[in-house]
Structure 1
Amino acid sequence: MTADRPLLGIFLMLGFCVLAPMGDALAKLLGGTMPTMQLLLVRFGIQAVILIPLVQATGRPWQLRGRLLRLTALRTLLHIVGIWAMFTALQYLPLADAVAIAFVMPFIMLLLGKYVLGEEVGPRRLGACIVGFIGTLLVIQPSFAEVGLPALLPLVVAVVFALFMLVTRQLAKDTDPIALQAVSGVMASLVLAPVLLFGHLAGIDALTFVAPSGETLWLLLSIGVLGTAAHLLMTWSLRYAPSATLAPMQYLEIPVATAIGWLIFRDLPNGLAALGILITMAAGLYVILREQATARSAATGTSG
């Protein structure tokens, strides 16, 4: 068993918070020049190419059968839909806004836990969920006024990834996380490649393959490398530090996305959206702190 090394875990999570929005920024840059499905195929294809040799070299078990295989297929489908929704949203929204809206996911997971899984959720955390949703609406409102329905795509991301995390929980005890990512990369590639090929042959603009060249090729490959590296860093961070220590740090992804959005696209949230981002972050951090407090007081039978 790996001993806790909190500082190393925190450092790895910081790496995730930097690399993840960098990958999103590249998807935003390339989304106007090539189909989203092509970006997805490269993203998952590189994930498979990087992780399969790693799994083989480390002797990790990756053969999945029966229930585990079905859950992995469902998880992969959710992953495809979630990343598709985010990459599409980035063509319409500032990077910081899209990332911040997607951070409504912890509230959705909390509600799913209460009303679907029957988990104990106290009134204060439910209240924080309501406040978080209000903050999210403040972020959505300016973008919705400008671009309409695409402004809601990050909410789709949040719902899909909440379901993705619930499925991942079901798999976590019986699968190696890196092997699971490798298998998902293969599955997603096997789904996306025929779709893109059919669309290209049928002359569907949104699915027509665009041959990258020069700088564009390196940016395209970087999307896959950054996405894979980001999730590896998150996986490894959880080996060295408790999730309770790392969970609040994930919100650093929002200010990092804001900085990257300004540096590359000169995009900054307006006053209303910035207020909404702060409210969403505060509510999310409160939920995390309440969950930690509830876990500590579980022996007394109280909840919050």
Structure 2
Amino acid sequence: MNRQEVEALYADRNPLTGILLKVVSVATFVAMASLIKAAGRVPAGEIVFFRSAFAILPILILLAWRHELRSALKTTRPVSHVARGLVGVTSMGLGFFALTRLPLPEAITLNYAQPLLVVVFSALFMGEVVRLFRWSAVVVGLIGVVIISWPKLTLFTDGSAMGNDEALGVTAALLAAGVSAIAMLLVRRLVHTEKTATIVLWFSLTSTVAALGTIPFGWVPLTGGQAACLIGSGICGGVGQILMTESYRHAPMSTIAPFEYTSMILGIAVGFVVFGDLPTIYTLVGGTIVVGAGLFIIWREQRLGLKRGQARKVTPPA
């Protein structure tokens, strides 16, 4: 079943329920990021372990409730799952490192580079046809990313420890977006043959094991508060994944995807109230440009999907 058929299957369900689940999933992921930031300067590999290991708990509960626990790990493509897991855990580690070095609004907003890079990598590595409109949106969106990043990247030249920390944070966030885009391409291939539960569970298990491999690189003893924050972040990550998956059962992806950008508003609000972080003018202007470009790409994808659907209706079967 391809994407258009899946969308047609769920389009007549309850879009408002799908949108609500998507918004709640976004809020849950923002809570996850906030808990990670609240934990302080914990090594990225250690954060990944807690995020991955405790995400398994709500996933297993859901699978048991659906009586899918026994079949969840069954697959004919274990190597593909492990490859996807290793790429995903690299992106996760880079993103968590960025969270410990950047204000929350900037860390969240820089992640919006990911869907732009998915378009680029889809054209380069998967042979997808990307025409002028989407290329233009990608270029404009990347200009927005440069606007957000540039003030931090120039801090490499000031020599201060704080300046270097923020510059490293931006670099890690951008690398995380690029690696995450590659992970999304791997997921696209897996969804043709694998169930969502199988993909999610294999990823959580792979990233947990991979994170344990970072122990020799310097894990630190955690306080009770830090451990609680990281355990909470893992549970939020698992719940957020479930809610996001469920949202696509009630409405087409093109309807729900734009609500991903509510994380920018939530990130600014939580960053200000909890951490005292105020978004800079660069973050606001660049973020607006990136969001606008992302929304245009989503709209363009929807239009192309409608045209392809109409073409299939008009073209008689061979």
2:159: which partner in 1? none
CA deviation string 1:74-102 (max 9, x = no partner) = 11112211111111011221111111111
Question: Hey, what's the Cα distance between the residues in 2 that align with 1:163 and 1:183?
Answer: 17
Q: CA deviation at 1:194?
A: 4.1
- Quote the residue 2:271 is aligned against: 261
How has the CA–CA distance of structure 1 residues 173 and 300 changed in structure 2, closer, same or farther, with 3 Å as cutoff? closer
- Give the root-mean-square deviation of aligned CA atoms: 1.9
2:221 matched residue in structure 1? 210
Whether the aligned pair in 1 keeps the contact of 2:75 and 2:194 (CA below 8 Å) is no
Q: Which amino acid aligns with 1:193?
A: L
Query: Equivalents in 1 of 2:29, 2:79: separation in Å?
Result: 27
Cα shift readout 1:191-246 (whole Å, capped 9, x = no counterpart): 222432xx2xxxx5xx2341332x33322211111111111111110111110101
Alignment of 1:212-291 (within 5 A): 212-213=223-224, 215-291=225-301
Q: Which amino acid aligns with 1:45?
A: A
User: In structure 2, what is the Cα distance between the partners aligned to 1:86 and 1:123?
Assistant: 31
Q: Percent identity?
A: 24
Q: Which stretches in structure 2 are left out of the alignment for 5+ residues?
A: 1-8, 156-165, 313-318
User: For the residues of structure 2 that align with 1:112 and 1:211, how far apart are their CA atoms?
Assistant: 39
Preserved contact between residue 35 and residue 210 of structure 1 (Cα < 8 Å): no
Residue 304 of structure 2 corresponds to 294
Offset, 1:17 = 1.4
Give the 5 Å matches for 1:111-260: 111-146=120-155, 147-196=166-215, 199=216, 204=217, 207-213=218-224, 215-260=225-270
| 1:51–1:179 Cα contact (<8 Å) kept | no
Match of 1:40 in 2: 48
CA distance in 1, matches of 2:208, 2:167: 31
- Check the 8 A contact 2:35/2:233 in 1, yes or no: yes
Alpha-carbon distance in structure 2 between the residues aligned to 1:127 and 1:211 = 47
Cα distance in 2 between the residues matched to 1:53 and 1:119: 38
TM score, norm. by length of structure 2: 0.85
Rounded to whole Å, the distance in 2 between the matches of 1:189 and 1:176 is 20
CA distance in 1, matches of 2:196, 2:288: 32
Q: Which moved more, 1:172-181 or 1:254-263?
A: 172-181
Q: Paired residue for 1:102, among 101, 111, 116?
A: 111
* Counterpart-to-counterpart distance in 1, 2:171 and 2:209: 29
Residues 250-286 of structure 1 deviation map (CA, whole Å, 9 limit, x = unaligned): 1111111111111111112211221111111111111
* Structure 1: segments with no counterpart, 5+ residues: none
Q: Residues 114-162 of structure 1: CA distance to partner in whole angstroms, max 9, x if unpaired?
A: 2221212110110111000000100001222333343221111111111
* Amino acid aligned to 2:200: Q
Counterpart Cα distance in 1 of 2:210 and 2:172: 22
AA at the equivalent of 1:50 = P
Q: 1:122 to 1:36 in 2, by over 3 A?
A: same
The TM-score normalised by the length of structure 1 is: 0.89
Q: Shift in Å at residue 53 of structure 1?
A: 4.2
Length, aligned pairs only: 290
